[in-house]
Homo-oligomer: A and B are copies of this chain.
Amino acid sequence: MHFPDDKPLRLECGQDLAPFSIAYTTSGKLNADRSNAILICHALTGDQFVTSDHPLTGKPGWWLTLVGPGKAIDTDRYFVICPNILGSCMGSTGPASINPQTKEPYGLKFPMITIGDIVNAQVRLIDHLKIDQLFAVVGGSMGGMQVLQWASHFSNRVYAAVPIATTSRHSSQNIAFHEVGRQAVMADPKWHGGNYYETGEVPRNGLAVARMAAHITYLSEDALQEKFGRNLQNRTTRTFTFDADFQVESYLRHQGSTFVDRFDPNSYLYITRAMDYFDLASSHMGILSKAFQATTTRFCVVSFTSDWLYPTRESRDIVRALNAVAADVSFVEIDSNAGHDAFLLDEPEFFETIRGFINAAAQKRGLE
C-alpha cells in the first residue's frame, strides 16, 4: 500500500519535502478501538515485506521468524504495520524518486534525511491510519534506532517499545565502516555524482563492495569461522589465482552481487548517513537519560552476546539511561554466536523473550 502525503514534511536539515509517499504493508486486523497496532521498523537494507514475499527477489518475508500467525508477534492478535523508510527504494520517497521541481530523479538533490525525519514520516502514516497510540514499536539494528526515536519523541503514542541489537548513537568504528561503504559506491565511476539514473548504468561494483564490507560486520567472527572456516569452494587445492578459492570469498561475492539487484546505491548513501548522524543524547547535552524524561512507554531492550556491531554495552547504556528516569524497562542479553544478524535468525530464546514481553504488555494494556 501507499500513503501519499501532499503536506510538506519539515526535515531536520531545514528543507521541506513535498510531496512524499510512504509504502507499507499491514497484516492482521486493527481492532475496534484501534489499540492493537504494532509498528515494525526495518533495518538499513530492509523493507516493508516483513511477512510477505519480496517482489524483486521472490524471497519470503524477512521477519517471518518473529512475525506471523501464532508467532511471538502474533498477527492473529495484532495489526502489524511495516513502512518502507523515507530515503529507501521500495516505494517510499527517496533519492530515486522524481523530483517534482525537475521532473527527474532526485539523485544527490534529495535532501539529507535523519532518523528523526524517518520517524516523523511514520507518524504521518500512523495519523493517517487514525491510530492514536501504537501498542508497540519493534525493530532491530537501524529499526531499533527508530524505536528509540519514537519512544523519545512520541512516548505518549507508544505503549511498548522493543529496541533490538541497536544503539543510541554510532561509535567511531561504526561511522568508519559506513564511510568505507559510501566511498566504495562513490569511487565507482558509474555512480556519476549520483546521477546514474539517466545513464542506465548503475554503480553495481561499488555497491557490491560496500555490501561485502558491511556484511562482515553483521556476522560474528565465530559464526564466519564455523560456517566457512578456511574451507575451499568446490575444489580441493588452492588455484593460485584470484578466483574465489575460499568459501567465505564466494559467499561474500554472492552477498554483494545479489544486493545490487534490489537496492538503490544512493539510498544506501543516504540511509547510512542517517544512521551515522543519529545521536539521541546530542540534543540533551550528551545526557541520554534526558531523551527519555517523563516517558510513559514500557521497554524491552534486547542485545546479543556476539554482536560486535552494536555490542551489549550499547544496550546497557540505553537501559541505564532508562533506569535513571525510572522508566519501566526490562533488558535481556541473548546468548548467540550469530553476531548482529542474530535478530533475523532462528533464536528461540529471543522469540520467547519477545513473546513474553508482548503478552505481558498486552495484558496490562487490556488487549484480549
Which residues does A use to contact B, with CB under 8 Å? 12-13, 108, 111-112, 169-173, 175-177, 179-180, 182-184, 186-189, 205-206, 208-209, 212-213, 216, 221, 224-225, 227-230, 238, 240-242, 244, 246, 248-249, 252-253, 256, 269, 273, 276-277, 279
Contacts and interface: CB of A to CB of B under 8 A. Distances in A.
A216 B169 contact: no
Contact of A225 (B111, B171, B182, B216): B171
Contacts of A189: 189
Contacts of A183: 208-209, 212, 252-253, 256
Contacts of A242: 108, 182, 186, 269, 273
Contacts of A225: 171-173
Nearest to A238: B277
Given A169-B230, A173-B221, A230-B170, A246 B212 contact: no
Contact of A209 (B180, B216, B252): B180
Nearest to A183: B209
B13 A224 contact: no
B249 A179 contact: yes
A279 B240 CA distance: 14
A294 B159 CA distance: 69
A230 B279 contact: yes
22 contacts: A108-B242, A111-B240, A171-B225, A172-B230, A173-B216, A173-B221, A173-B225, A176-B212, A176-B224, A176-B249, A177-B216, A179-B249, A179-B253, A180-B213, A180-B216, A186-B242, A187-B188, A187-B209, A213-B213, A238-B277, A242-B273, A246-B276
The 8 A-B residue pairs whose C-beta atoms are closest, nearest first, are A187-B205, A112-B240, A13-B240, A172-B224, A179-B249, A173-B221, A172-B228, A172-B248
A71 B224 CA distance: 41
The SS class assigned to the A binding surface is helix
Contacts of A252: 176, 179-180, 183
B246 A175 contact: yes
Nearest to A14: B240
Nearest to A179: B249
Contact of A212 (B179, B229, B240): B179
Nearest to A182: B242
A216 B176 CA distance: 7
A248 B176 contact: yes
A180 B212 contact: yes
A180 B175 CA distance: 18
A13 B240 CA distance: 6
Contacts of A188: 187
A137 to B, nearest CB: 25
A206 B187 contact: yes
A224 to B, nearest CB: 4
